[in-house]
């Protein structure tokens, strides 16, 4: 149990360090990724207004039923990329949220790039 608490504490420290450098605007929102054990959530956030511009996850909308694996993460990334392009947003800042840029997090970023969003 203590090991899990330590792991989460280290991730929170990395997250705050990253958030000190990454800031989203309406023209270039912050693309934040959260992964749980079963699902994946991606949001495009405008930090000036404190609002979520677009969101895609494996538990809502057309993507419901997808898992949190790399193949499905690419589909979720493409979905958020298409939503951003519909809003005429072509650039975003990627916020890995303290996770390693590897596996599911990397697949979500590459899916958004594949849709046409520059990260």
Write out pLDDT tens, residues 35-92. 999 999 999 999 999 999 999 999 988 899 898 899 999 999 999 999 999 999 999 9
* pLDDT for the residue numbered 78: 96
Q: Which of 12, 35, 23, 6 minimizes the C-alpha distance to 101?
A: 35
Mean pLDDT over the full length of the chain? 94
CATH of the domain at 50: 3.30.420.100
| Residue 53, helix vs strand vs coil | strand
User: How do strand 93-95 and strand 30-35 relate by DSSP bridges?
Assistant: parallel
Residue 82 confidence (pLDDT): 97
Residues 6+ apart with CB under 8 A from 102: none
Strands, E, within 1-119: which ranges? 30-35, 40-46, 51-57, 93-95
Residue 60: predicted pLDDT: 87
In the chain, how many domains are there?
1
More confident residue, 1 or 71: 71
Residue 108, domain extent: 2-115
The confidence score (pLDDT) of residue 38 equals 93
pLDDT at 31: 97
State the pTM of this model: 0.91
Tokens 């996850």, located at residue:
57
């Amino acid at each position: 149990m203590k090991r899990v608490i330590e792991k989460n504490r280290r991730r929170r420290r990395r997250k705050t360090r990253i958030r000190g450098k990454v800031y989203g605007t309406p023209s270039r929102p912050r693309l934040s990724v959260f992964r749980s054990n079963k699902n994946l959530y991606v949001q495009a956030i405008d930090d000036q207004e404190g609002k979520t511009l677009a969101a895609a996850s494996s538990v809502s909308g057309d993507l419901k039923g997808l898992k949190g694996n790399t193949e499905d993460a690419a589909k979720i990334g493409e979905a958020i990329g298409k939503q951003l392009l519909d809003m005429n947003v072509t650039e975003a800042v990627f916020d890995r949220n303290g996770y390693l840029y590897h596996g599911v997090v990397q697949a979500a970023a590459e899916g958004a790039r594949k849709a046409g969003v520059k990260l």
